[in-house]
Chains A and B, each alone.
Chain A
Amino acid sequence: MTEIVNHPASPPPIRPRMGLWAWARANLFSTWYNTALTLLFAYIGWLVIPGLVQWALMDASLGGDAAACRAAGGACWSFIAEKWRFILFGTFPEDQQWRPTLAMLATIATLVISADRRTWGRPLLFIWGGGLGFAACMMFGGVLGMDYVPTSLWGGLPLTLALSVVGLSASFPLGVLLALGRTSDLPVMRGLSVVYIELVRGVPLISILFMASVMLPLFLPQDVPIDKLLRALIGITLFSAAYVAEVVRGGLQAIPRGQVEASKALGLGYWQRQRLIILPQALALVIPPLVNSFIAIFKDTSLVIIIGLLDLLSTAKSALTDPAWRGFYKEAYLFVGVIYFLFCYALSRYSRHLETVLGQGRKR
């Protein structure tokens, strides 16, 4: 018998340390056209960056009024200093704005906690229920001595977060059902799911939002009032359910047929089979694309401005209509743009990270 020798893992190959000059030779000036490109881009950077720094920092004003801003000629951060409360919270009563702050922190904490893979599974339901329940209490009030704040006063970032998080949570079960329907053997289920998914994916979100805002009241009996936020939520949910369904279908189709056959052989019924065998595997596969769907929903909520809701983008836009502060659109859009970017970039980095981590076991 041969003896099993435990070889120590060989050390990684030593990379030659490159000097700055050698690195530049290799990465910037390797050929004549690379040199030309480098010079061109360096020139563009030299044209743009100093001007940008001058505008954003040197000539910027903070703390003065609009006239001082115009005199300084640079970025008017005083505008943001003046309006940040309105842009972030909209028309929520000003002395109560700690409530949406807490609600947002709870929502973000829920998202951060559920990013940890150890919480995946049943605890996640409680975490989401608790986090979003707390956030809803904070936003609505009416309990614990807090004043009731109707949704018509909500605005800004809390509204954007509410639309996207609730939209995703509500569209997820609907999307799973649609995906199961589309992969089902029953022609009626399959037909209805296919028609719904393709219909919704073929039209722009705006048309669904129009439908939710102008047609929904027509669909319901006269005495059923339905507030604007709920209409937008229904529209966003119905829209993203179709996209979630396609993502989940990708996961369902990646599960080998043997799994279905084995669970049938064990005598499991359809729902038991889906709940215990198929969905746990399929959903784990599609978490990274689901995070991408969430990014898409988060960005798409900005469209509610068109049906008159005051989300983060529309608060920035209405802050600009203040006659005292006309024309500082660059600062306002930069401010909300950075907020959107931080959320979406963090989520997309997380999705990419998950893809590598989850792909580890499947990689050959």
Chain B
Amino acid sequence: MQLSDKTVNKPGAPRARHLTLSLNNPTIRAILWQIGLGLVVILAGWYLAGNTMANLARLSIASGFGFLDRESGVQIGESLIATGPRDSYGDIFIVGLLNTLKVSGVGIVLATILGVLLGMARLSSNWLVARFAATYVEAVRNVPLLLQLFIWYALLTEGLPGPRQAEPLIPGVDIFLSNRGLKFPAPADDPVWAWVAVLFAVGVLATLAISAWNRKRQLSTGQRLPMTPIGLGLILGLPLAFLALSGGGAMDVPVLQGFNFRGGMTLSPEFAALLFGLTLYTAAFIGEIVRSGILAVPKGQTEAATALGLSRSTAMRLVILPQALRVIIPPTTSQFLNLTKNSSLAVAIGYPDFVAVANTAINQTGQAVEGVLSIMIVYLVISLALSAFMNWYNRRVALVER
């Protein structure tokens, strides 16, 4: 048997220029396979699109995104911006999107804090604390999130008294917990609060500046100011001191009127149930990630830090955590994405997130294709943005190797 010279590349020899037109030529086969698969995908898409067009025409459902400008007639219960039933579908989509971002954003922050605490608790030398954290993690991870959301929602609505029976949580303070949610006093329209906000911002900026200066000073002299009391004093103390001196600002206080409270701020049971559920569930996963990240730092690092005379907490902060973060960040990113995607379960407990709003639009207009497409596009964009941000952060903390 003789092998054709054209199909065999001798090492170092220039690649054969012209192809043998045979089905046994791997290059030809690869091209044919790809053309075949491409055709199958295109034909399948064509077939599905054709069917869809025919079905839509038969059911006389409009297509296209024109419905976004039409009046929706939907009153959304919970919104960050002003809404009304005259809003177009486009407007209520934005309201839903903001609600999704609100619950995911707050959830991510809380889940991270709780998750780090849980991870450290599982590694605690205290037997009781470690067992408690381990039990929590196992119990929460092995039960569907949706069931947990139902439990929270039931506890926060059926488990609580109506507004008329609600007693103040702390005697004398107007904070009420009822099945309509948590009502609490909010800053009313008063210039004092604007000053408080300005002072808060000043405190944050001053803390950032001082800590930058402090770092430089530590590098050059080895001396270091205690940043925690300084930062707390500036960020919290400054506005609080001003508030105390000015005698406090006007408050908008919830008052029982008829069957519900008026005024004040509300934490609705839907939002609270979703937030609790998402936070507690994701925190269990983040806790496991943090634990394995800390365990991945070699023991020698702890021992070396101790030998240098660092205290346990300083060693944790300056030696262990920065190294653990490199292991922790990539899987935590996917947990953040999971939390955001899981926030779509809101539709099951009546929180008006993007999926719930889009679902309403689908039911009213019948434009399922556009509705589902918008859901997918919105989540894809959020996912891409979040992972781009986390990748940037990951590069910042990644090990810089020579």
Chain A residues proximal to chain B, CB less than 8 Å? 27-28, 30, 34, 37-38, 41-42, 185-189, 192, 199, 202-207, 210-211, 214-215, 217-222, 295, 299-300, 302-303, 305-306, 313, 317, 327, 329-330, 333, 336-337, 340-341, 344-345, 348
Q: Which of B41, B58, B143 contacts A344 (CB 8 A)?
A: B143
Task: Report the bound CA distance from A41 to B147 in whole Å.
Answer: 27
Contacts of B126 in A (CB 8 A): 27-28, 30, 34, 37-38
Contacts of A295 in B (CB 8 A): 142
Task: Report the bound CA distance from A344 to B126 in whole Å.
Answer: 28
A333–B150 CB distance below 8 A? yes
Nearest 9 CB-CB pairings of A with B: A344-B142, A188-B34, A27-B127, A204-B341, A204-B344, A214-B368, A302-B144, A299-B144, A329-B154
Q: Which of A30, A186, A333 contacts B151 (CB 8 A)?
A: A333
A341–B139 CB distance below 8 A? yes
Contacts of B355 in A (CB 8 A): 204, 206-207, 210
Contacts of A203 in B (CB 8 A): 341, 375-376, 379-380, 383
Contact with A along B126-160 (1 / 0, CB 8 A): 11110010000011011111110011001000100
Chain A residue at minimal CB-CB distance from B38: A188
A41–B383 CB distance below 8 A? no
Residue B306 lies at the interface, judged by CB distance under 8 Å to chain A: no
> A222-B55, A333-B150 known; A192 and B41 CB under 8 Å?
yes
B147–A337 CB distance below 8 A? yes
Contacts of B341 in A (CB 8 A): 203-205
A336–B48 CB distance below 8 A? no
30 intermolecular pairs with C-beta atoms under 8 Å apart: A28-B126, A30-B125, A41-B129, A188-B35, A199-B376, A202-B383, A203-B376, A203-B379, A204-B375, A204-B379, A206-B345, A207-B372, A214-B368, A217-B55, A218-B56, A219-B51, A220-B51, A299-B142, A299-B144, A300-B144, A306-B347, A306-B348, A329-B151, A333-B147, A333-B151, A336-B147, A337-B147, A341-B143, A344-B143, A348-B142
Chain B residue at minimal CB-CB distance from A207: B375
> A214-B368, A222-B55, A345-B142 known; A207 and B127 CB under 8 Å?
no
Chain B residue at minimal CB-CB distance from A219: B48
A313–B150 CB distance below 8 A? yes
A188-B38, A204-B342, A210-B371 known; 20 new pairs, CB 8 Å cut-off, are A27-B126, A28-B126, A34-B125, A37-B129, A186-B30, A188-B35, A202-B376, A202-B384, A203-B379, A204-B341, A206-B375, A215-B368, A218-B55, A218-B369, A300-B144, A330-B151, A333-B154, A337-B147, A340-B144, A341-B139
A41–B132 CB distance below 8 A? yes
B37–A189 CB distance below 8 A? yes
Task: Report the bound CA distance from A341 to B375 in whole Å.
Answer: 31
B54–A202 CB distance below 8 A? no
Residues of chain B from 310 to 367 with CB closer than 8 A to chain A in the complex: 337, 341-342, 344-345, 347-348, 355, 359, 362
Residue B391 lies at the interface, judged by CB distance under 8 Å to chain A: no
A187–B376 CB distance below 8 A? no
Residues of chain B from 10 to 30 with CB closer than 8 A to chain A in the complex: 30
Q: Which of B52, B146, B362 contacts A219 (CB 8 A)?
A: B52
Contacts of A327 in B (CB 8 A): 158
Contacts of A188 in B (CB 8 A): 34-35, 37-38
> A204-B341, A306-B347, A333-B150 known; A215 and B369 CB under 8 Å?
yes
Task: Report the bound CA distance from A340 to B126 in whole Å.
Answer: 30
A340–B143 CB distance below 8 A? yes
B147–A206 CB distance below 8 A? no
A221–B51 CB distance below 8 A? yes
B147–A313 CB distance below 8 A? yes
B143–A38 CB distance below 8 A? no
Residue B33 lies at the interface, judged by CB distance under 8 Å to chain A: yes
Chain A residue at minimal CB-CB distance from B379: A203
Q: Which of A186, A207, A344 contacts B376 (CB 8 A)?
A: A207
Contacts of B348 in A (CB 8 A): 305-306
Expressed in whole angstroms, the minimum distance between the Cβ of B56 and any Cβ of chain A is: 7
Expressed in whole angstroms, the minimum distance between the Cβ of B110 and any Cβ of chain A is: 20
B369–A28 CB distance below 8 A? no
Contacts of A336 in B (CB 8 A): 147
B345–A303 CB distance below 8 A? yes
Contacts of A337 in B (CB 8 A): 143, 147, 151
A207–B344 CB distance below 8 A? yes
Chain A residue at minimal CB-CB distance from B376: A203
Contacts of B345 in A (CB 8 A): 206, 303
B58–A222 CB distance below 8 A? yes
Contacts of B344 in A (CB 8 A): 204, 206-207
Task: Report the bound CA distance from A204 to B104 in whole Å.
Answer: 13
Expressed in whole angstroms, the minimum distance between the Cβ of A278 and any Cβ of chain B is: 17
Task: Report the bound CA distance from A329 to B154 in whole Å.
Answer: 7
A202–B55 CB distance below 8 A? no
Contacts of A210 in B (CB 8 A): 355, 359, 362, 368, 371-372, 375
Contacts of B337 in A (CB 8 A): 202
Task: Report the bound CA distance from A210 to B345 in whole Å.
Answer: 12
B146–A303 CB distance below 8 A? yes
Task: Report the bound CA distance from A222 to B57 in whole Å.
Answer: 12
Chain B residue at minimal CB-CB distance from A327: B158
Task: Report the bound CA distance from A28 to B150 in whole Å.
Answer: 36
Chain B residue at minimal CB-CB distance from A41: B128
Task: Report the bound CA distance from A302 to B151 in whole Å.
Answer: 14
Contacts of B35 in A (CB 8 A): 188
Expressed in whole angstroms, the minimum distance between the Cβ of A63 and any Cβ of chain B is: 24
> A41-B132, A188-B38, A202-B379 known; A218 and B51 CB under 8 Å?
yes
B128–A42 CB distance below 8 A? yes
Chain A residue at minimal CB-CB distance from B127: A27
> A188-B34, A192-B37, A203-B380 known; A317 and B368 CB under 8 Å?
no
Q: Which of A34, A199, A348 has the most CB of B within 10 A?
A: A34
A341–B142 CB distance below 8 A? yes
Task: Report the bound CA distance from A305 to B150 in whole Å.
Answer: 12
Task: Report the bound CA distance from A187 to B34 in whole Å.
Answer: 8
B33–A214 CB distance below 8 A? no
Chain B residue at minimal CB-CB distance from A336: B147
Q: Which of A28, A30, A329, A348 has the most CB of B within 10 A?
A: A329
Q: Which of A27, A187, A192, A340 has the most CB of B within 10 A?
A: A27
Contacts of A333 in B (CB 8 A): 147, 150-151, 154
> A188-B34, A206-B345, A306-B348 known; A28 and B52 CB under 8 Å?
no
Task: Report the bound CA distance from A204 to B375 in whole Å.
Answer: 9
Task: Report the bound CA distance from A27 to B52 in whole Å.
Answer: 66
Contacts of B158 in A (CB 8 A): 327, 329
